[in-house]
Chains A and B, each alone.
Chain A
């Protein structure tokens, strides 16, 4: 039961163009969403996040959009750069009754930015 899904395993974009990575979720209890970037042989690193009470958050070249009614979020990278080539994981957070949060990850999208 994959509660967070990234249906595109890979995406190829030309340098300078926009990259759009998509993510869908099924659990209405998720109240915070995050994007992580992962290079080979390294751990995932936090990129950008959005609270469920917002529909957009922007940080430099990165913007995350949230459509709660559709249970869909997307990450826009513009302009795309070769250094953006990595695997991008979407993650969703839900609070636990005993304290703490549980992060559930999507399956990842491999982004390749070509010259």
Chain B
């Protein structure tokens, strides 16, 4: 019944590895996001897809590549992991409620630790 689910919840990996985080939403929303919460607890948007089209691509290293196979899924692939990539990554989805109205639903987060 989870509205936005992301896997895995915890991910510990070595520098230089490639890893993926998966996200699925069962809310029928058109828009999905990836946010990063760093050690200072800032929640920063990384990417957003609207109807499988990339609409937001903030200043994120090319090593990060989102992929949306369909409206319900937005996966995040990270190449050549670095220590600074350690953070909690949140997936979210939303549907426009009206002019500017956007209530985004978040997954439980994936805590990525690069060692």
Interface residues of A (CB under 8 A from B): 30-32, 34, 36, 41-46, 49, 51-52, 87, 89, 91, 93-96, 98-105, 107-108
Contact = CB atoms under 8 A, between A and B. Distances in A.
- Judged by DSSP, the binding face of B is strand
Given A43-B106, A43-B108, A44-B43, A99 B55 contact: yes
Contacts of B104: 34, 46, 91, 103
Interface of B: 4, 30-31, 33, 35, 40-45, 48, 50-51, 53, 55-56, 90, 92, 94, 96, 98-109
Contacts of B107: 43
A62 to B, nearest CB: 14
Contacts of B99: 31-32, 51, 95
Contacts of B94: 101, 103
A100 B55 contact: yes
B110 to A, nearest CB: 10
26 contacts: A32-B101, A41-B108, A41-B109, A42-B108, A42-B109, A43-B4, A43-B90, A43-B92, A44-B90, A49-B103, A52-B100, A87-B41, A93-B100, A95-B100, A96-B50, A98-B50, A98-B53, A99-B55, A100-B48, A100-B56, A101-B31, A101-B96, A101-B102, A103-B45, A103-B104, A105-B44
